[in-house]
């Protein structure tokens, strides 16, 4: 069977999309999970774009061993140098350089003639090849480029040393027939095409990203670029889980092997959704909450008699089977640690103790501790950065009645080491809390988005609040989970503020590149 490499760009193209900002600890957590999922290549970021991105790519290159780690670079020396500095520690250093090739991009964005574009691409690839054994070159807006120009520039870039050629549909305009035909044409006409790997990179503006990616594979692409939950610029990128599962379920017509460990899909999807704050639409293929739910009576009856009547994918395939509950109120620390290790967490003793204390508190208030609850608790600890002084919610109290003006009182430990108290009213309980916290953190806070969801099922499920806010000119997303949604909301608010303090300290420590 032909091997198709999965190139995951959740941390680059995905992270680039509106409203998402992950800190380094969170990016490392996602990268480790992508490695567990078995992706071939992880695009960890754009090292030359900011010190924070440089740091994250560098740390991921040091941490991940079983997937190749790459970073994005423009076709300029300083980008290639920064990427080398970030990635040289990796086992197989890989760089992804790109340059636009469509008439509209060359004329208006680059203000360069086609000849100048060829020259710049060739120079950059030659320079990159001196440092990196693996050099991927992308023709940005490749699908809207002139075919014969593509044949020419790709031939020259291969001669300069590129090992992978990516032909993206940057604006999500292609149909499957056209995109497949383009790969066939390039494979047949580019000089040296048999010496390199071709790669597809699709966006979902017309809802065809998955279909286009598979059409490319059928026509000679040996790599597809995609993101978890399909997050990414505008309508998003091709979704990894759709491609992985489609190739598996329809292996009768797609005889390809991806090397993905499909059982890790559910967990990867949930982790990315939780850390980015991007909710998964309920009817999303493969990973949506309702992807395996049968509502109509006729369907339910059929599935009970034989699941295959209406189910083409078993939930167990993507790791959605219920894990037997072994932890409860009386579980000890050793059992808790054992379970955390089995779930793939690697926490320091101090973080494990904190997670265990949270677990005990929760077990007192909630009958059943689910796998989802544990993932929430353990991930919170895992991504916590300890050495920056932060705000901490000590208590919050809300006076609410249908006939009264809601009033909140909050006590907060400040980064300066003080304990501060404030009270305020609001049109509702949540607004009263937010108004109170705004007084405590000082400055103006604009709430851009706010959502509360439940973690798992049942009336005693944990409530998770996600809040996107603007403070001191920066936008961050905070989140937290608690038994009560008001407490979760207050903690999520402070989490968003704290993330700015953490980012500021990273900015201060990092040398500029
Ligand atoms: Zn893209």
Identify any residues that bridge with 7 across adjacent strands, giving them in sequence order: 41, 225
pLDDT score, position 326:
62
pLDDT score, position 124:
98
Where are the alpha helices (H) located in 67-113, listed in sequence order? Answer: 77-87, 103-104
pLDDT score, position 155:
98
pTM for the complete prediction?
0.84
Q: What does DSSP assign to residue 46?
A: -
Q: How crowded is the C-beta side of 460, counted as CA atoms within 13 Å?
A: 9
Contact 458, 483 (CB under 8 A): no
Ligand 1 center–CA 203 separation, angstroms? 6
Ligand 1 center–CA 418 separation, angstroms? 46
- CB-count exposure of residue 399 (10 Å: 0-12, 13-18, 19+): middle
Contact 120, 75 (CB under 8 A): yes
Q: How crowded is the C-beta side of 112, counted as CA atoms within 13 Å?
A: 16
Ligand 1 center–CA 201 separation, angstroms? 7
Ligand 1 center–CA 273 separation, angstroms? 19
Q: What is the dihedral of CA 333, 334, 337, 343, to 10 degrees?
A: -120
Ligand 1 center–CA 137 separation, angstroms? 14
Ligand 1 center–CA 16 separation, angstroms? 9
Ligand 1 center–CA 170 separation, angstroms? 5
Where are the alpha helices (H) located in 191-320, listed in sequence order? Answer: 209-218, 240-249, 265-276, 297-305
Ligand 1 center–CA 167 separation, angstroms? 11
Alpha carbon distance 9, 337 (integer Å) = 32
Ligand 1 center–CA 7 separation, angstroms? 12
Taken in order 329, 334, 335, 338, the sign of the CA dihedral is positive
Instruction: Provide the 3-class DSSP secondary structure of residue 60.
Output: helix
Q: Tens-of-pLDDT digits for all 513 residues of the chain?
A: 899 999 999 999 999 887 788 888 899 999 999 999 999 999 999 999 988 899 999 999 999 999 999 999 999 999 999 999 999 999 899 999 999 999 999 999 999 999 999 999 999 999 999 999 999 999 999 999 999 999 999 999 999 999 999 999 999 999 999 999 999 999 999 999 999 999 999 999 999 999 999 999 999 999 999 999 999 999 999 999 999 999 999 999 999 999 999 999 999 999 999 888 888 998 999 999 888 877 777 877 887 888 888 888 988 999 886 555 667 778 888 888 888 888 778 888 888 898 998 888 888 877 778 777 888 888 888 777 667 889 999 999 999 999 999 999 999 999 999 999 999 999 999 999 999 999 999 889 999 999 998 877 778 888 989 999 999 888 888 888 888 999 999 999 999 998 888 777 766 654 444
Alpha carbon distance 482, 465 (integer Å) = 9
Ligand 1 center–CA 19 separation, angstroms? 17
Label the pairing between strands 223-226 and 197-202: parallel
């Amino acid at each position: 069977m032909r091997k198709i490499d999965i190139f995951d760009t959740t941390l680059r193209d995905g992270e680039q999309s509106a409203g998402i900002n992950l800190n380094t600890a969170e990016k490392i957590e996602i990268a480790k999970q992508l490695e567990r999922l078995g992706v071939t290549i992880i695009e960890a970021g754009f090292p030359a774009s900011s010190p924070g991105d440089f740091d994250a790519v560098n740390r991921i290159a040091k941490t991940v061993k079983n997937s190749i780690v790459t970073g994005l670079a423009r076709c300029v020396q300083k980008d290639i140098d920064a990427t080398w500095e970030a990635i040289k520690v990796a086992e197989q250093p890989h760089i992804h350089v790109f340059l636009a090739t469509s008439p509209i991009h060359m004329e208006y964005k680059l203000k360069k003639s086609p000849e100048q574009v060829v020259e710049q691409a060739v120079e950059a690839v030659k320079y990159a090849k001196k440092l990196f054994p693996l050099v991927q070159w992308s023709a940005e807006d490749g699908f809207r480029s002139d075919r014969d120009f593509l044949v020419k520039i790709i031939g020259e870039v291969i001669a300069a040393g590129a090992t992978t050629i990516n032909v993206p549909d940057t604006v999500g305009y292609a149909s499957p027939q056209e995109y497949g035909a383009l790969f066939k044409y390039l494979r047949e006409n580019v000089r040296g095409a048999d010496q390199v790997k071709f790669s597809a990179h699709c966006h979902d503006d017309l809802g065809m990203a998955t279909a286009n990616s598979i059409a490319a594979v059928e026509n000679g692409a040996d790599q597809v670029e995609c993101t978890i939950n399909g997050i990414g610029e505008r309508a998003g990128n091709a979704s990894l889980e759709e491609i992985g599962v489609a190739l598996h379920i329809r292996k009768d017509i797609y005889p390809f092997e991806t090397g993905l460990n499909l059982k890790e899909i559910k967990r990867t999807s949930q982790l990315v959704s939780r850390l980015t704050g991007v909710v998964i639409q309920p009817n999303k293929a493969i990973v949506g909450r309702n992807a395996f739910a049968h509502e109509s009576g006729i369907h339910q009856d059929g599935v009970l008699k034989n699941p295959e009547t209406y189910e083409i994918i078993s939930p167990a395939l993507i790791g959605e089977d219920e894990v037997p509950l072994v932890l409860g109120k009386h579980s000890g620390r050793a059992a808790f640690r054992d379970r955390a290790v089995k779930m793939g967490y690697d926490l320091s003793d101090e973080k494990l103790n904190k997670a265990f204390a949270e677990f005990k508190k929760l077990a007192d208030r909630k009958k059943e501790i689910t796998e989802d609850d544990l993932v929430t608790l353990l991930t919170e600890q895992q991504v916590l950065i300890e050495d920056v002084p932060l705000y901490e919610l000590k208590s919050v109290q809300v006076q609410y009645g249908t006939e009264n003006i809601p009033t909140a009182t909050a006590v907060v430990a400040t980064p300066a080491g003080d304990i501060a108290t404030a009270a305020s009213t609001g049109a509702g309980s949540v607004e009263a809390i937010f108004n109170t916290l705004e007084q405590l953190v000082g400055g103006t806070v604009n709430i851009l988005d706010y959502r509360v969801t439940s973690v798992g099922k049942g009336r005693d499920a944990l409530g998770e609040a996600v809040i996107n806010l603007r403070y001191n000119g920066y936008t961050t997303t905070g989140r937290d989970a608690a038994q009560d949604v008001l407490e979760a909301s207050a903690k999520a608010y402070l989490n968003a503020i704290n993330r700015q303090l953490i980012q500021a300290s990273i900015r201060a420590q990092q040398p500029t590149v």
